[in-house]
């Protein structure tokens, strides 16, 4: 959102301004990055109307001029200072983000939705200063799986997780680095004290470069077995236990392909991973790992 705003702010006025009673009008031609360009090379067109000392800008795709992709308001036609409502939309018209500016500073709620219209992020600003945020996560069926709430002013953090039945599975609440974890099960509530918010994802020994080298070696060793049907990205899901061993290795895409077979076999027989950490403790974690084979043509 911020990048889009900065790019649009650099746009020059290209065409006309008229003095009808409804206010002055402007047209902007934009490329794929929302930079100004010639009309023939443009992918987007912005229409601005200046009225009551505020310019309202609406940006459309040239391929689908019926659907607005961005709405922004500015102090004047130079587009240097945001003022008021700012929105972006997906290509199908669904809302992507929404916020409010006062004199070029975010003020109030900034919200983001995914392409399925689930609210994923909500951040509150007080004249440009972030005060609190909430992040939402969802199961594949669209049900809420968990949410995180951070209060930056008081250094508070809360996480609530749900099971697939919609009941609370766990809660954690931190003040600074000290927190309390509650785990709910059929037998009652287990409470534990925490002393750090530190969290780390599971990782391959040596980092991303070592992982890419390892997978490339495995694919190259089976190059003669690969066909045109294996071009693409296979996403492999597996569990990394607290000792770094992997289990339950399953392809979630390209099932049945040779690429999937190679990727699954490589992960199964590969070295131990560095396990994940949550709140300073080693924990079991799920991993989604993409393995790609690119068509050289």
**pLDDT, tens only, 36-57:** 789 999 999 999 999 888 999 9
**Helix or strand or coil: residue 210?**
helix
Domain span at residue 11 reads: 1-106
Residues 73, 141: one domain? no
Q: Which of 17-26, 82-91, 123-132, 276-285 has the lowest mean pLDDT?
A: 17-26
Please give the pLDDT value at position 20. 39
Decide if pLDDT at 2 tops 50: no
Residues 20, 1: one domain? yes
Residues 190, 204: one domain? no
Residues 97, 185: one domain? no
CATH of the domain at 239: 3.30.2420
Share of the chain above pLDDT 90, in %: 77
Residues 211, 248: one domain? yes
Domain finish residue from 106, 126, 153: 106
Rounded CA separation 139/97 (Å): 21
Please give the pLDDT value at position 22. 52
Segment 119-177, tens digit of pLDDT: 999 999 999 999 999 999 999 899 999 999 999 999 999 999 999 999 999 999 999 99
Domain finish residue from 106, 131, 150: 106
Domain finish residue from 169, 197, 225: 197
Average pLDDT, the chain: 89
Buried b (16+ CB within 10 A) or exposed e, 12-23: eeeeeeeeeeeb
**CA 198 distance to own-chain centroid:** 21
Split into its structural domains, the chain has a count of 3
Residues 210, 268: one domain? yes
Residues 143, 149 contacting (CB under 8 angstroms)? no
Please give the pLDDT value at position 79. 84
Residues 29, 87: one domain? yes
Residues 167, 95: one domain? no
Please give the pLDDT value at position 297. 66
Segment 172-181, tens digit of pLDDT: 999 999 999 9
């Amino acid at each position: 959102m911020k990048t889009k705003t900065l790019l649009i702010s650099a746009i020059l006025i290209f065409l006309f301004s008229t003095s009808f009673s409804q206010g002055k009008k402007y047209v902007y031609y934009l490329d794929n990055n929302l930079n100004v360009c010639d009309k023939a090379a443009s992918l987007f067109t912005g229409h601005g109307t200046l009225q009551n000392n505020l310019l309202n800008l609406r940006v459309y795709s040239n391929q689908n001029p019926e659907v607005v992709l961005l709405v922004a308001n500015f102090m004047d036609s130079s587009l240097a200072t945001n003022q008021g409502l700012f929105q972006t939309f997906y290509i199908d018209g669904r809302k992507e983000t929404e916020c409010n500016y006062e004199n070029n500073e975010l003020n109030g709620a900034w919200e983001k939705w995914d392409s399925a219209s689930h609210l994923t992020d909500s951040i509150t600003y007080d004249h440009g200063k972030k005060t609190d945020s909430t992040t939402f996560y969802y199961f594949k069926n669209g049900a809420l799986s968990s949410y995180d709430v951070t209060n930056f002013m008081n250094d508070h953090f809360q996480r609530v997780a749900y099971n697939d039945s919609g009941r609370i599975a766990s809660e954690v609440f931190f003040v600074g680095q000290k927190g309390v974890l509650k785990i709910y099960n059929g037998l009652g509530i287990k409470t534990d004290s925490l002393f750090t918010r530190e969290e780390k994802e599971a990782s391959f020994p040596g980092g991303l470069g070592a992982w890419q080298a390892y997978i490339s070696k495995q694919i190259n060793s089976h190059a003669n077995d690969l066909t045109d049907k294996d071009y693409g990205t296979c996403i492999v899901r597996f569990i990394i236990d607290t000792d770094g061993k992997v289990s339950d290795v399953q392809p979630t895409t390209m099932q049945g392909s040779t690429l999937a077979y190679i990727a699954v076999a490589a992960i199964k027989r590969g070295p131990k991973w560095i396990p994940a950490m949550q709140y300073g403790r080693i924990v079991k974690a799920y991993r989604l790992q993409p393995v790609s084979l690119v068509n050289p043509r």
